[in-house]
């Protein structure tokens, strides 16, 4: 399936390109994973089971288009959850404001980098940015993108096992039923 390839392409893209696009002093993403509501099960005072800042990925599609010949077009919505923990206050005049705003700068850097990114499967196009409420000091913004991916994996699954399985021979003459136990168990007499 193509989801594993898309996930690996996105994480590789962020790992290799994000450090060069971050302003000085801004922390890089430390953890990449699939989104499985990891933040919903954290208890107060519990240490994070992953390093922060982190990016989590979710892939959804509701409209798969069959293209024939065992090919499909997946118009995916890719959600990237950018998470970080902070007790810093962002209000005007706060001595922590620069630290608090670093998270928004990181979200902005990820959003700018992924919009228009060619990840090998397709080109990402921005769809939405929204805050994800956690009820903790974990800050999460969800960056949503669309990407159209053409998938040919079904053709690989349904490919004939060898050339003999894919060949068809038509001969003029009287048909003879195949010998019992032969490779051709189906015989149709069209006369």
Mean pLDDT of 163-169: 58
The CATH code of the domain at 3-156 is 3.30.2000.10
Q: Is residue 136's pLDDT more than 80?
A: no
pTM of the model: 0.76
In whole angstroms, what is the distance from residue 89 CA to residue 52 CA?
Answer: 18
pLDDT in tens, 35-81: 988 777 665 555 667 888 999 999 999 888 888 778 888 888 999 99
Mean pLDDT of 111-132: 91
Q: At 88, is the secondary structure helix, strand, or coil?
A: coil
């Amino acid at each position: 399936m193509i989801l594993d390839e898309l996930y690996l392409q996105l994480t590789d893209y962020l790992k290799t390109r994000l450090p060069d696009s971050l302003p000085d002093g801004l922390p890089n993403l430390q953890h990449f994973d699939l989104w499985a509501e990891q933040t919903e099960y954290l208890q107060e005072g519990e240490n994070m089971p992953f390093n922060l800042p982190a990016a989590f990925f979710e892939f959804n599609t509701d409209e798969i288009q069959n293209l024939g010949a065992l090919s499909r077009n997946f118009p995916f919505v890719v959600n990237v959850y950018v998470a970080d923990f902070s007790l810093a206050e962002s209000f005007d005049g706060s001595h922590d404001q620069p630290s608090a705003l670093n998270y928004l700068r990181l979200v902005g850097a990820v959003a700018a980098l992924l919009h228009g990114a060619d990840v090998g499967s397709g080109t990402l196009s921005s769809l939405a940015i929204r805050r994800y409420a956690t009820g903790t000091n974990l800050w999460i913004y969800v960056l949503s993108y669309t990407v159209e991916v053409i998938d040919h994996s079904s053709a690989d699954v349904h490919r004939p096992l060898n050339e003999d399985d894919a060949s068809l021979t038509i001969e003029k003459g009287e048909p003879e039923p195949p010998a019992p136990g032969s490779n051709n168990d189906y015989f149709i007499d069209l006369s």
